[in-house]
Structure 1
């Protein structure tokens, strides 16, 4: 079993959860970490337990129902992660909202790929983006196609229809990266401006060289902590980078999945006719993209969110 999944299972007792939270709160320098960890350990266990159950039931269910189950599984895992960093969560009722809205009325020629979600100022999405990933959201709204475009595993589906969205540039835990030189044309940047653009998301760049084929660089430390515009393929551990400026997105992949799953769960619940037709008639390209995304998110999100907990562990 993957060590992250094993660790999440290990935390689902009062003794292990309390000890783990006490460690987290000690790192935060709270005045009484032991008391606060006792106060929060049951909520922490239930968040993990509910998250696991939603994902388990989702994998057993027809894809027709999966968006709701996976979205709420993800929400519960996010809340467990938040309790390790924000011991008083939720501090206000504003945080109980999802923090995202979808278009209420769908146009006659509606397609999922062109649909958009809009980010709210309050709610879970901006809150966990800030406190789990230290990120502000660099857009007000974003289309499903642009969100799917930065998920490495979805790249192959885009390639089947003649679109290349991402390119592998190295491997996680490596110090070496290589970018195709034609990226500079797409981003309308010189090589030095491109280096300045990506430097904040990498360890310090030790050196780089540039010719008409490739931009090669070495960073001072292995690339461990990964966030957009770099994204990791779950099977190969390859680092992917968006090929086009329009797809460049500097947010964590957990945030990407949250936005897509939110929209899918809303379609599943409220757009009855369109959602039913999607699974019966399979009318357009939306169907394979949605189906493959649901299969991917069911395994990738528990690992990415469980990784947040795993990375804070100590020898218990």
Structure 2
């Protein structure tokens, strides 16, 4: 379960604690010269966390028009802290310092935010952290629409439902539970048989037993779902509830953190380079896009720092097992 008190982040805002934490990480991965690497990286690790949280705190107190910029740079710092726990040589080349994403520079006259796209580059921070932290190769197609990314944030589902759209997710379990409950009509959504659906699931989780009920079926798992691996499951902000996509358009092989990064990148680019359009959206508040952008920024402000702290907590738990 995630909490907003950031106990681990607070603990790591001491250079001695940061160094000890990194050394344990490197020892656990059997990295040669773990002591030297932890001394070399501890100050950077410490400041990535300290400054990352400062960006978020400043963003929380700032006008909405500049929030995306502050949250985006805060997220970059926290992701770099996570990368340092796994790769002591990060960044090994300047190519890794690029965003790893791009967006159309010139917006059209009748600009439609939800139809705009983010393009994924072959090199840069985005594809790098996706692979190293979440073992994910981002999207078979090299671009994705803003609409599709927003639909992949479970807490935004109610806004789509309010506007007359079908829900994007269904609740299937609690995180600590090793049973998933699916309604039978999910098979119609994917146009597949139960057997095909279970086979699809088995690519991500170990299903040990399937039990059929009147209008639903239960999959017993060998172990609960991991919230830090790329899989089709999504989680609420408190990391208690597990959701499953009801539509094929919701990304299946990626991690939600990746989607937040892409959205913050896109909104920060709009704030920087499309001042007139972004200013109109923020200040007139007439567009339907305003409500969803506002809600997303509220969610991402707490969900991303909590998720990345949870990621480090999982690293720490792995270390304890290895002690």
TM interval, short-chain normalised: over 0.9
Q: 2:267 aligns with which of 264, 267, 274?
A: 264
| Residue deviations 1:222-275 (CA, integer Å, cap 9, x gap) | 224354411001247211111111224321111010000000000000001100
Q: 1:275 aligns with which of 270, 273, 278?
A: 278
Residues 1:14 and 1:105: Cα distance change in structure 2 (over 3 Å): same
1:29 corresponds to: 30
| Residue deviations 1:79-112 (CA, integer Å, cap 9, x gap) | 0000000100001111010000011111222122
Give the distance between the partners of 1:236 and 1:225, measured in 2 at CA: 8
2:234 aligned with 1:231, yes or no?
A: yes
Give the distance between the partners of 1:192 and 1:96, measured in 2 at CA: 44
Structure 2 unaligned regions, length at least 5: none
- C-alpha displacement of 1:179: 1.5
- C-alpha displacement of 1:73: 0.1
Task: Report the RMSD for the aligned CA atoms in angstroms.
Answer: 1.8
Range 245-254 or range 27-36, more displaced: 245-254
2:82 corresponds to: 81
- C-alpha displacement of 1:201: 2.2
Superposition TM-score, scaled by structure 1 size: 0.95
- C-alpha displacement of 1:212: 6.8
1:305 corresponds to: 308
2:29 aligned with 1:41, yes or no?
A: no
2:189 aligned with 1:186, yes or no?
A: yes
- C-alpha displacement of 1:3: 7.9
- SS of residue matched to 1:159: helix
| Residue deviations 1:141-191 (CA, integer Å, cap 9, x gap) | 111111111211111111111221111111111011111222222212221
- Kindly indicate whether the alpha-carbon contact (under 8 Å) linking 1:228 and 1:253 is maintained by their aligned counterparts in 2: no
- SS of residue matched to 2:249: helix
- C-alpha displacement of 1:200: 2.4
- Kindly indicate whether the alpha-carbon contact (under 8 Å) linking 2:149 and 2:259 is maintained by their aligned counterparts in 1: yes
Range 16-25 or range 277-286, more displaced: 277-286
2:158 corresponds to: 156
- Kindly indicate whether the alpha-carbon contact (under 8 Å) linking 2:4 and 2:302 is maintained by their aligned counterparts in 1: no
Equivalent pairs counted in the alignment come to 315
1:291 corresponds to: 294
Range 106-115 or range 64-73, more displaced: 106-115
Range 49-58 or range 172-181, more displaced: 172-181
Q: 1:213 aligns with which of 200, 215, 232?
A: 215
2:210 aligned with 1:201, yes or no?
A: no
- SS of residue matched to 2:211: strand
Residues 1:266 and 1:222: Cα distance change in structure 2 (over 3 Å): same
Range 252-261 or range 173-182, more displaced: 173-182
- SS of residue matched to 1:245: coil
- C-alpha displacement of 1:305: 0.7
- Kindly indicate whether the alpha-carbon contact (under 8 Å) linking 2:82 and 2:308 is maintained by their aligned counterparts in 1: yes
Residues 1:305 and 1:50: Cα distance change in structure 2 (over 3 Å): same
Give the distance between the partners of 2:161 and 2:202, measured in 1 at CA: 28
Q: 1:246 aligns with which of 229, 245, 249?
A: 249
1:59 corresponds to: 60
2:174 aligned with 1:171, yes or no?
A: yes
